[in-house]
Chain A
Amino acid sequence: MRLWRLLARVYFLLVFLPPLGALFLAFGKTLSLTFLKDAIYLRALSNTFILALGATGLSVLLSLPLATLLAKSRFPLARLWAVLLAVPLLFLPYQTALAWSFILPAPVLKLLFSPWGVVFIFTISFFPLVFWPLYLSFLSIPREAEESGLLLAPPLKVFTRVTLPYAKPYLLGGAGLCFIFSFTEIGAPTYLGVPVIGSEILTRFAAFYDLQGALNASLPLAITGLLFFLLERPFVKRWEIAPRWRDPRGLLFESRPFFLLGGLFLGVTLLVAVFLPLSVLAFKAFSGDFWSVLTRAKSPLLRTFLYTGGAAILAGGVALVSQPLFKEREKDLWDTLALLAFFLPSVVLAVGLIYFWGRFPLVYSSWVLLLLGLLCHFGFLTQRLLREAWRRFDKGGLEAAYLAGRGFNAIFRRIILPPLSPWFGYALAIFFIFAANEMTLSSLLYPPGGATLAVTIYTLSVNNPLSVSAGLCLLNTLFILVVVSLLLCLLRPGADGSRSA
Chain B
Amino acid sequence: MAVVLLKGVRKRFSGEEVLRGVDLSVSPGEILAVIGLSGAGKSTLLRLIAGLETPEAGEIHLYGKPATRGSQILLPPWERKIGFIFQNLALWEHLTVYEHLEFVNREPARIKELLSFFELWELRKKRPPELSGGQRQRLAIARALAQEPALLLLDEPFSNLDMVRKKKFRQELLRIRERRELTLIYVTHDPLDVKLLADRVAVIHEGVILQEGPLETLLAAPAHPIVRELLSF
> Cβ of B90 < 8 Å from any Cβ of A?
yes
Q: Do A151 and B78 touch (CB < 8 A)?
A: yes
Q: In the docked arrangement, what's the CA distance between A327 and B84, Å?
A: 42
Q: Which residues of B contact A148 (CB under 8 A)?
A: 84, 86, 90, 92, 143
Q: Is the interface of B mostly helix, strand, loop or mixed?
A: loop
Least CB separation from A165: chain B residue: B94
> Cβ of B147 < 8 Å from any Cβ of A?
yes
> Cβ of A152 < 8 Å from any Cβ of B?
yes
* Cross-interface CB contact of B52 among A147, A162, A168, cutoff 8 Å: A147
* Cross-interface CB contact of A151 among B83, B89, B94, cutoff 8 Å: B83
> Cβ of A150 < 8 Å from any Cβ of B?
yes
Q: Do B90 and A152 touch (CB < 8 A)?
A: no
Contacting B at CB under 8 A, from A137-172, are 142, 144-145, 147-154, 161-162, 165-166, 168
Flag A13-46 by CB within 8 Å of B: 1 or 0 each. 0000000000000000000000000000000000
Given contacts A151-B82, A151-B84, A154-B76, contact A142 B103 (CB under 8 A): no
Q: Which residues of B contact A168 (CB under 8 A)?
A: 94
A395 to chain B, nearest CB (A): 21
> Cβ of B214 < 8 Å from any Cβ of A?
no
Q: Which residues of A contact B87 (CB under 8 A)?
A: 144
Q: Is the interface of A mostly helix, strand, loop or mixed?
A: helix
Q: In the docked arrangement, what's the CA distance between A154 and B77, Å?
A: 8
Contacting A at CB under 8 A, from B84-114, are 84, 86-95, 103-104
Q: Do B88 and A151 touch (CB < 8 A)?
A: no
Q: Do B92 and A147 touch (CB < 8 A)?
A: no
Q: Which residues of A contact B103 (CB under 8 A)?
A: 149, 152-153, 161
> Cβ of B177 < 8 Å from any Cβ of A?
no
* Cross-interface CB contact of A145 among B80, B82, B90, cutoff 8 Å: B90
Q: In the docked arrangement, what's the CA distance between A152 and B78, Å?
A: 4
Given contacts A151-B77, A152-B78, A168-B94, contact A144 B147 (CB under 8 A): no
Q: How many residues from B make CB contacts under 8 Å with A?
A: 23
Given contacts A147-B52, A165-B94, A166-B94, contact A152 B147 (CB under 8 A): yes
A331 to chain B, nearest CB (A): 22
A171 to chain B, nearest CB (A): 13
* Cross-interface CB contact of B92 among A145, A150, A153, A154, cutoff 8 Å: A145
> Cβ of B198 < 8 Å from any Cβ of A?
no
> Cβ of B4 < 8 Å from any Cβ of A?
no
* Cross-interface CB contact of B91 among A145, A150, A165, cutoff 8 Å: A145
> Cβ of B50 < 8 Å from any Cβ of A?
yes
Flag B53-65 by CB within 8 Å of A: 1 or 0 each. 0000000000000
Q: Do A144 and B80 touch (CB < 8 A)?
A: no
Q: Which residues of B contact A165 (CB under 8 A)?
A: 92, 94-95
Q: In the docked arrangement, what's the CA distance between A168 and B50, Å?
A: 28
* Cross-interface CB contact of A162 among B76, B80, B92, cutoff 8 Å: B92
Q: Which residues of B contact A150 (CB under 8 A)?
A: 52, 76-78
Q: Do A147 and B86 touch (CB < 8 A)?
A: yes
Q: Which residues of B contact A149 (CB under 8 A)?
A: 92, 103
Q: In the docked arrangement, what's the CA distance between A162 and B143, Å?
A: 14
Q: Which residues of A contact B78 (CB under 8 A)?
A: 150-154
Least CB separation from A166: chain B residue: B94
A84 to chain B, nearest CB (A): 26
Of A147, A149, A161, most B-chain CB atoms within 10 Å: A147
Listed in ascending order, the chain B residues whose CB lies under 8 Å from chain A are: 50, 52, 76-78, 80, 82-84, 86-95, 103-104, 143, 147
A–B pairs, 12, beta carbons within 8 Å: A142-B88, A144-B86, A148-B143, A149-B92, A151-B52, A151-B147, A152-B104, A161-B103, A165-B94, A165-B95, A166-B93, A168-B94
Kindly list 16 other residue pairs between chains A and B, CB separation below 8 angstroms, not including A144-B86, A161-B103, A166-B93.
A145-B90, A145-B91, A145-B93, A147-B77, A147-B86, A148-B92, A149-B92, A150-B78, A151-B50, A151-B52, A151-B78, A151-B147, A153-B103, A154-B78, A165-B92, A166-B94
List the 4 closest A-B pairs by CB distance, nearest first: A144-B90, A165-B94, A144-B86, A148-B90
